[in-house]
Structure 1
Amino acid sequence: MMNKRARTQWWDGLPAGIRNQIDGYVLQDSLMAAIGVVTDIGLVPDGIGVGTAQAIVSDRYAHHGDRIARAPDTPLDQESLIRRVGGISGDVVAIEAVWDGDTVHDWFVRLLAITADPAEKNALAVIHWSLAERHLGEGAKLAGRHPVAVAAERAGGDLAAHLSVPFHFASPDTPDDEAPRRQP
């Protein structure tokens, strides 16, 4: 992989149009699109693979900092979740927390409202690490647990209790996107 100096020299050698395209994706917080452009233009002539492309794009994220238009977090406060449930057609029969993950956000949890008629899984919130930390507050007692799991349990458990329905989280202590799902 290229060191920082080599990445900077490679970046400075790009035509302005390509630099603008990559920075445009970065400013829109489109990480995968930016990495795709870097590998598309750098793989054959310069041997730039995905790992180096991620480092180059990471440099651009650091360069732009607060100028990046981040997608807003979904709300986890009880009032907002109750309002979201109110917009679901059908009776909610359970609230479920499900692990998911990707290369951008690492592990996160999807909070779902399950309905029976129609049988659907309705997305209520996506809980990433940063949202979990803000929701739980500074100095939250986690007992060594993943903050995403703790936030999901609290928000989902409280919502389920408010709705008088069960709350299901198959793997609250270990990220597992193949954990058993709630069965009707």
Structure 2
Amino acid sequence: MEWEALPADLRERLDGELRQSRVLPAVQLLLAAGSYARTEAHDLIIERFHELYPPRPPAVPTLLRSARSLRDPIAAIEARWDADGRGWHVALVAIVERPGPSHERYSESRLGTFRHGGDLRLFGGLVPAWPESAEATMAGQAVARQLDVPFHFTHPSSPDTDLPRWWDTH
């Protein structure tokens, strides 16, 4: 199925959902509009979402500038899984020496987010490759090298928010 083959009014409604990052409701709208298989509808919506909003991981120079602008001393660079209404993503953070809500000595400052689609990738028994994990690892290692601090990513191969943090090991 091609995007242009859909009725114009349906394309407008779907784009309206996608402009609000409402991917799952767009898939549901497409499913309700015709005899589309779930996988086909999902693939078309994800393809269209990426046409509208191509994934662009943060560039290392931008991440490095953000890290260097922090006032507190940086102890480490950490990549960690996180989730929101659109699904799993990898947050790249600077662990700074400042008491925070999760640790008495350290806190974090977010440097960037790496995301490729949402959790719809998990439908149909597909196992995602998690490219955001590889991108965050490469970028995080580069930033950590430039700052001469360690890099930490507990479990890059699969999402989980209940993993040990860098400060749990120090």
Q: Deviations over 1:33-67 (max 9, x none)?
A: 4235457xx49xx9x9xx73x643543565x588x
Aligned positions of 1:159-174 closer than 5 A = 159-172=143-156, 174=157
Instruction: Tell me, in whole angstroms, the C-alpha distance in 1 between the residues paired with 2:72 and 2:56.
Output: 26
Instruction: Tell me, in whole angstroms, the C-alpha distance in 2 between the residues paired with 1:19 and 1:38.
Output: 9
**CA pair 169-55 structure 1, distance change in 2 beyond 3 A:** same
TM-score by length of 2: 0.59
Q: Which runs of 5+ in 2 are unaligned?
A: 101-106, 118-128
Instruction: Tell me, in whole angstroms, the C-alpha distance in 1 between the residues paired with 2:49 and 2:153.
Output: 35
Q: Does structure 1 conserve the Cα–Cα contact (< 8 Å) formed by 2:27 and 2:42?
A: yes
* Post-superposition offset of 1:74: 3.5
1:175 and 2:123 correspond: no
Q: Does structure 1 conserve the Cα–Cα contact (< 8 Å) formed by 2:55 and 2:115?
A: no
Q: Does structure 2 conserve the Cα–Cα contact (< 8 Å) formed by 1:29 and 1:69?
A: no
Q: Residue 135 of structure 1 aligns with which residue?
A: none
Aligned positions of 1:3-152 closer than 5 A = 16=9, 20-26=12-18, 30-35=22-27, 37=29, 42=32, 52=38, 55-56=40-41, 58-59=43-44, 68-70=51-53, 73-77=56-60, 79-100=61-82, 108-117=89-98, 119=100, 120-128=107-115, 148-152=132-136
Question: Could you say which structure has the larger radius of gyration?
Answer: 1
Q: Does structure 2 conserve the Cα–Cα contact (< 8 Å) formed by 1:25 and 1:31?
A: yes
Q: Which runs of 5+ in 1 are unaligned?
A: 5-10, 131-144
Q: Residue 157 of structure 1 aligns with which residue?
A: 141
